[in-house]
Amino acid sequence: MTVHSDEDSPKKAVPGHGRKRERSKRTMCAWVLVVLVPFLLVKLVFFYASPFLLFSPSAQRSEAELMNELEFPTPSGRDEELRTASRNNSKFDVRPDPSSDLPVEEETESTITDPEAPPTEIPEEEVDEKEEVKTEDISPQPPRLNGDEEQLPPEETTAEQEQEEQVVNQEDASKKEESLSVEQVVDDKQPIEQVTSSNASALAPAESQGCNLYDGDWVHDPEGPLYTNRTCFYIQSMQNCMSNGRPDTAYMYWKWKPRHCDLPRFDAKGFLEMFRGKTIGFVGDSLSRNQMQSLLCMLSQLEIPDQIYQSADDKSVRWLFKSYQVTLATVWSPYLLKETTGELKGIEEGQSKLFTDSLDEGWTSVMNDFDVMVLSIGQWYFKPSVYIQNDEVIGCHYCPGLNLTEIGFYHAYKSAVRHVLDKVTKDYKGLAIMSTFALDHFENGSWSNGGSCTREQPLKEGEKLLEGMNYEMHQIVVEEYESTVQRRKRNRKKVQVGLLDVTLLSLLRADGHPGPFRVSHPYDGIEPGTLVQNDCLHWCLPGPVDTWNQFLVELILSNLKK
């Protein structure tokens, strides 16, 4: 007989204990769900929604105000004479073709604004950036080419050419092996020119010796863009053409093809590897920001960046790609010169006063934060301004009512470019890249009098020439750049400056602007035939401005090799 004490005797199952334990488990699971689900939802919403909150309504209104100020009277007085002379004597075809029989479209009287007419600003009410944006679920599809666009067959290759290609390929392979043998370590304290052997091999330079990348054509690209409005969250609302309801997609399916070499498709990983630990700054006006946001979109397909700085007016921002410690920055300085609208030298407050011999400290004070700095200005020089040099008023551009000499804007623009190049070659430690003038494509008018841009394909060769004011603005930058380079070479000093010719790249891309789709669904709720404000200056994203950044990569690589 076994005797059990009270302590070790087997306990009888009490009815209900199992159900209590089951209820306890369920209660615990419920509390876990109550705590975790809201946390996960908040995190998910923040991840997907935060990019759309980056550009606040106030920032969008600021952009609208800037856009409203971009259209100004055409040159008058001495500038009009220069424009007329350049139109008649200085025509410059970006891609000359002696056999071309295409008609040349001459500038008509309807496209020239009366130089005596005052600048017209668009009422702010026309662009209500607070309106709810209708997001279109539009996935870009490859466009069908027109029937009259001939598809050329591939060129036949001779035996001699094949042998030459084999030799070249062998040489390239040996060079690649040499470059890969170098240890892939980058010191983020190195100046940009010291990054050559360590990580420039991540991107293969497209420009071979003697090849001009700008000598090429826009050709159909079946691959399409690297991103869309649904995969990039950093597109300014006024350049988000697909989201704003633009119905055509053909403008996204073109690429620049050089005639004598290749321009590689943009490689986000290669770019970030090359710039590991570096900072790239875009300094200038809203077109400079347009280009920075294009690069931001292309890189964000690989990694989502963090915004690490934002100025109070949202015009200067910085983004960090943490995995690579690469920073993209934009600095607002639409003239690059010092400018004030305060009362000065008897000229009332509100009138722009531009110091043609003094640079804007807003960018010069931070320029050495950047390993590469892209500078671009132009369109803001069409604004009415009073010019000050050596602390004296020397004249103005379009200043009726003031007893000042009309000297036009070419003088101020040339002075700005010259002082900028002098500054960066003397005091800047990185690689400075000067962009040429970014032209617009208004047709049948201008910003303030019904000009539009509704084309769906690029202009054909010879359909638009670089002439008149566009030619003058382009040449000012080119000539000042060449003069700076020659002066540095004569003094046997290192040339740490490059030229990005966005004028030539953009000349035929009249299809790449937002046009009426600068706002969400512009034709909704209006009477047929009503004029809608067009933006024919900035660029849709994705769009032609993405090609600017392809050229930027090649320009940086070519300078690293020097």
Catalytic positions, please?
Answer: 286, 535, 538
Instruction: Give the CB-side neighbour count of residue 12, counting CA atoms within 13 A.
Output: 2
Instruction: Give the CB-side neighbour count of residue 224, counting CA atoms within 13 A.
Output: 10
Q: Which bin fits 410, alpha (ψ -120 to 50), beta or left (φ > 0)?
A: alpha
CB atoms within 10 A of CB 260: 12
Q: Which bin fits 16, alpha (ψ -120 to 50), beta or left (φ > 0)?
A: left
Between strands 306-310 and 385-389, the pairing is: unpaired
CB atoms within 10 A of CB 312: 7
Q: What φ, ψ does residue 394 adopt, rounded to 5°?
A: -105, -10
Distance CA 484, CA 493 (A): 11
Between strands 372-376 and 279-284, the pairing is: parallel
CA distances to 107, 110, 245, 420, 511 from 442, in Å: 11, 11, 20, 29, 11
Distance CA 221, CA 520 (A): 27
Q: Is 422 exposed, middle or buried (0-12, 13-18, 19+ CB in 10 A)?
A: middle
Q: Which residue carries 């009249």 as its tokens?
A: 510
DSSP character at residue 111? G
Distance CA 433, CA 375 (A): 6
Between strands 306-310 and 317-321, the pairing is: antiparallel
Between helices 286-300 and 57-68, what is the axis angle to 10°?
Answer: 140
Instruction: Show the tokens assigned to 26.
Output: 């369920």
For residue 542, whether the previous peptide bond is cis, meaning omega lies within 30 degrees of 0, is yes
Q: How many residues does the chain have?
A: 562
